[in-house]
């Protein structure tokens, strides 16, 4: 199994989905460098967290929050009626999550926010 680690900021507030709203979907923007254009760019990773990580993301992470994520990549595919072909997407299934700095100007009094949660994600295969 390949393990992927990313560090960046949430691009928007997490979306809670699933029958019991126990799955968190969120996108992390990771800084990158375009050597041809000589400018800073970003890579975007769609992430999916389950159970304890999903609850942590829901409670403590929002747009702009710094996170470190470790997990495995999963490919999904679906048929697009609009474009009449198969669309392939990749998402990072969260195994470990660490919360970092909040966006500048955001004030919180919950000093109890967890920095790291570790729990195996459900098997997908």
pLDDT at 15: 97
Cβ 4 vs Cβ 72: under 8 Å: yes
pLDDT at 120: 53
Tally Cβ neighbours within 10 Å of residue 23: 19
CB contact set of 69 (below 8 Å; sequence gap of 6+)? 5, 6, 7, 28, 45, 47, 92, 94, 96, 97, 98
pLDDT at 1: 74
Residue 74: strand, helix, or coil = strand
Cα separation, 4 vs 110, in Å, equals 30
Please state the CATH superfamily assignment of the domain spanning residues 4-116 in this structure.
Answer: Nucleic acid-binding proteins (2.40.50.140)
Cα separation, 48 vs 94, in Å, equals 6
Indicate the pTM of the whole model.
0.79
pLDDT at 103: 81
Ranges of residues in the chain whose predicted pLDDT is under 50: 109, 111-112, 123-125
Short-list 48, 51, 83, 64, CA closest to 13: 64
The domain segmentation of the chain, as residue ranges, is: 4-116
pLDDT at 108: 54
Q: Tell me the pLDDT tens digit for each residue of 48-72.
A: 999 999 999 999 999 999 999 999 9
């Amino acid at each position: 199994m390949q393990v992927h680690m990313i560090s960046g900021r949430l691009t928007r507030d997490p979306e809670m989905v699933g029958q019991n709203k126990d799955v968190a979907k969120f996108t992390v923007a990771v800084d990158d460098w375009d050597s041809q254009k000589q400018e800073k760019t970003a890579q975007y990773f769609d992430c999916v967290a389950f159970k304890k990580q999903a609850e942590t993301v829901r409670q403590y992470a929002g747009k702009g929050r710094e996170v470190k994520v470790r997990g495995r990549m999963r490919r999904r595919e679906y048929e697009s009626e609009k474009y009449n072909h198969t669309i392939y997407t990749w998402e990072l299934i969260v195994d470990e999550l660490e919360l970092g700095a909040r966006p500048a100007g955001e004030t919180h009094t919950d000093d109890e926010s967890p920095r790291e949660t570790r729990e195996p994600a459900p098997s997908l295969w």
